[in-house]
Structure 1
């Protein structure tokens, strides 16, 4: 992935990772479009930056994704980087029968959202030079958090989907998986100040350095996430699962 001169779309751009990547990549000399459900928060992300643009989008709405894709290609024909970052992580108890509406919402946003947006834009990306697609997964794709079982499963699904996409897009679109550890954002209530989670600014700084490598790694892995990413190889899945079950 080249460092400058891109036109980049980031979903989930109203806070957390999305907001910080949007600002950093804009300031590095890229045109950036941020998308999310909250128009007000998107405008806050873009405030004061001439080439940072806000476009509301609900990735759980199939028709909205299709219309959004048409509009963004028309407005930004040089679009060459798409970052599927939007996601939600509600806690749940799967040990008994329950209302599955929250689980269905997680799947709609975390799995169907990136699949639909990728499908809507992949032909455009294939026709662009220096095309990149970035899927944000999680260390929990490799070792699940029991009280966020559906979230963890959705990230495992996107990891698998990314592997398939990378293979099929060889020589056409660079496909990158960003694998965060627990980071101090508001993904879950109180997480932005939770002890033991990686400070957001440190995560952004370390990952931007990895994105800037030539060639860019297929997987963007900060040091803190490698224990989860390689747990199966290292025989530490049970140990990590027991630790996550206590959180």
Structure 2
């Protein structure tokens, strides 16, 4: 990884590229010391090493947050969101786990996780955000699923990441920032390379339609790939209502 750390800032958000360190399993299982990795990062001058150091700091931040607030392992860090009545359907959760939501970038992510036990950080954010904000499902269910699947599972990092994506953590993205899965797909997998790798039903589609195959002409076959299980625009409004007025949301 040190041979291409200089490209880290530019390539780390694109899952089809080998732009990340892939060292998280070794850190999680104590095979590499975070202190040693910080030392190595500081030996390399440049934006790539600086960006990687920032990610190592995020890991330590989540460790400290959970140490001082252990209740966050079972409930929302922010008390105002602890009693949200999540209206998501059990069927939606199962479809999310199996990579059958009808949103290619989400399904590619979930199938990658199931097949390899590892998932690119950008995709962890997208998959988590989709479960919470589009499928209106309790983030603790998704957090538990990731815990079962990830070879780099770390309680603090997993919990912190999920609470960040859900908007319920101590340093979370605001609840009103909701990822559009199609736009995110177009931005971070522009040619559809990652999608084709993990969703073979869509491998024949061009990059103009692979991110939203339901918009393709009827003559273009998707080989049994499902239509979207929810409408993103509608679910976005429901998510906003849920977080603004938990007791009145439907």
> Given the two structures, how large is their TM-score scaled by the length of structure 1?
0.30
Question: Relative CO higher for 1 or 2, CA cutoff 8 Å, sep ≥ 6?
Answer: 2
> Given the two structures, how large is their TM-score scaled by the length of structure 2?
0.30
Q: Which has the larger radius of gyration?
A: 2
